[in-house]
Structure 1
Amino acid sequence: MESLQREIADTAVFEDRFGFDPTAVDISSDSTQQSLGAAASDTEATADAPLVAGVDQAFLDHRAISAVVVLQAGEVVERTYAVTELSIPYIPGLLAFREGGPIVAALETLDCEPDLLCFDGSGRIHYRQAGLATHLGVVFDTPSIGIVKNLLCGTPRESVDGRPVGWRTPIEADDAVDCADGTVIGYAYQSRQYESSNRHINPLYVSPGHRVVAETTADLVSALCDGYKLPEPTRLADSYADEIKSDLS
């Protein structure tokens, strides 16, 4: 499995290669319209905006509930899910082999073709630079980003404690990562923070999956946040997965 991950990392493109304007990625329809030109109508702006899919999972017994929510200009245009039996136990660093198949099953039920995939899972911030977002970004050859709440590996360039909304710092490879020390493999991004100094919200850790560079990953997550800690695509996918789980229970 580890050798396959290294092959996937070698195949992945950690550069910006989009089929759309990344500055048009925004959850606000007003912002999208401005980026496309003030003369454009709301309908035209929405039609030209990229499709951004959030992917998350819930678990019930030995099954994965893989949920996908697709946004365009801040509006939900499609939701879908798949319920799949899990055949591999959880092993740190090998999450894609457990959850990747169920997510593929859900993505294959989409009617639309997303321009950007946002995963609740690591991308290049991974021991072998091949987390869940990298695996599936390569499989679908679609720009993809990984978004997690806890740092798997690598070292923040600066302390992440108590930072204000919008703050970011690079995550650099260290001895635990299979690449040159100091390589920027992602970013810590502070998406939300309490007003009180007595308590703090930790940052997100965002990283390229495929066809995205690390700095752009942070830009995209910033554009997709709307006052919550998680960006809207994965936040809505998380809620949808819980909704399906509740119905199945």
Structure 2
Amino acid sequence: MSTPRPDLAPGSGLSREEMEDLQREIASVAVFDDEFAFDPDALSNPLATTASTGDPPVVVGVDQSFLTNEDGDQDRALSAVLAMRGGEVVERVYAVTPLEIPYIPGLLSFREGGPILAALEELSVDPDLLLFDGSGRIHFRQAGIATHMGVVRDVPSIGVAKSLLCGTPRADTDDLPEGSTIAIESNSRVDAPDGTLVGYAVQTRQYDSPNQYINPLYVSSGHRVGPETAAEIVLELASSYKLPEPVRLADQYADEAKRELTE
């Protein structure tokens, strides 16, 4: 894969202020609207694209695992990427790289971004869409890991987070019916005018029981995918489980690769 914006790639040695300034620059060049070449309908109906414009789009799920040293401290990241086309896995690769900075809330991409970019370099297929286990525009400076990586690679991307980092839902998100979406708007914690649409709470799965419920996912534009389309794509790709299939399988693969390295 090429890197159209290597100047925006995460690097070590930056101060917190410099990292935050870089995120603001990334947000300023990110595209939070639909700007992609593939047919989104092909994600749920691959034959539609096969019959009209060729192969279905390649959707890549990205997830991370961590390796520890003899003292029990996390010192390396294992970045797993898994490519799917037409509902089938076509490639799985991973990369292991040193962790150069500690975990800092809101600056995850500087800890995990380098390892992810290294793993993406191992792919032989070109992604049409990247799905990240993490935030996109739902972020303090509108530049979560999905936005950061999407802009650096200039590939359409979506953030799929399990918890809400910032922003305010426009309605109650408890016990939502399956298939529901609730808009998330910016608040005082987001570097955007209050009320800006930054993503959606997306209820991909729900129990058929009054005594328990599944929390929604928090889906946001990374780069070159609008918020409504991002929510629709995640609903389409979460065919049997809460997580969209490319991310779920990337998570499984990260655990599998970690076991192989530590046994």
Q: Please classify the TM superposition score into its range, dividing by the shorter chain length.
A: over 0.9
C-alpha deviation, 1:138, in angstroms:
0.2
1:53-202 equivalence runs, <5 A: 53-61=60-68, 62-202=75-215
Q: Kindly indicate whether residue 32 of structure 2 is the aligned counterpart of residue 32 of structure 1.
A: no
Amino acid at match of 1:52: V
Please give the alpha-carbon distance, in whole angstroms, between the structure 2 residues aligned to 1:25 and 1:211.
Answer: 17
Amino acid at match of 1:32: P
Amino acid at match of 2:63: D
Q: Residue 183 of structure 2 aligns to a residue in which SS? A: strand
Amino acid at match of 1:206: V
TM-score of the superposition, structure 1-length normalised? 0.93
Q: Which residue of 2 aligns with 1:219?
A: 232
Q: Kindly indicate whether residue 230 of structure 2 is the aligned counterpart of residue 229 of structure 1.
A: no
Where does structure 2 lack aligned partners over 5 or more consecutive residues?
1-18, 69-74
Please give the alpha-carbon distance, in whole angstroms, between the structure 1 residues aligned to 2:215 and 2:58.
Answer: 28
C-alpha deviation, 1:36, in angstroms:
3.5
Please give the alpha-carbon distance, in whole angstroms, between the structure 1 residues aligned to 2:178 and 2:169.
Answer: 17
- Please tell me the root mean square deviation across aligned C-alpha atoms, in Å: 1.2
Name segments (4+ residues, structure 1) moved above 3 Å: none
Q: Deviations over 1:166-199 (max 9, x none)?
A: 0011100001000011111000000111111101
Amino acid at match of 2:39: D
Q: Residue 69 of structure 1 aligns to a residue in which SS? A: strand
TM-score of the superposition, structure 2-length normalised? 0.88
Amino acid at match of 2:46: T
Amino acid at match of 2:22: L
Q: Residue 91 of structure 2 aligns to a residue in which SS? A: strand
Please give the alpha-carbon distance, in whole angstroms, between the structure 2 residues aligned to 1:150 and 1:112.
Answer: 31
Q: Deviations over 1:20-54 (max 9, x none)?
A: 1122223xxxx221x338xx4xxx88x52000000
Please give the alpha-carbon distance, in whole angstroms, between the structure 1 residues aligned to 2:176 and 2:135.
Answer: 22
Q: Which residue of 2 aligns with 1:50?
A: 57
What number of residue pairs does the alignment pair up? 238
Q: Residue 83 of structure 2 aligns to a residue in which SS? A: strand
Q: Deviations over 1:110-142 (max 9, x none)?
A: 001000000011000000000000000001100
Q: Kindly indicate whether residue 37 of structure 2 is the aligned counterpart of residue 19 of structure 1.
A: yes
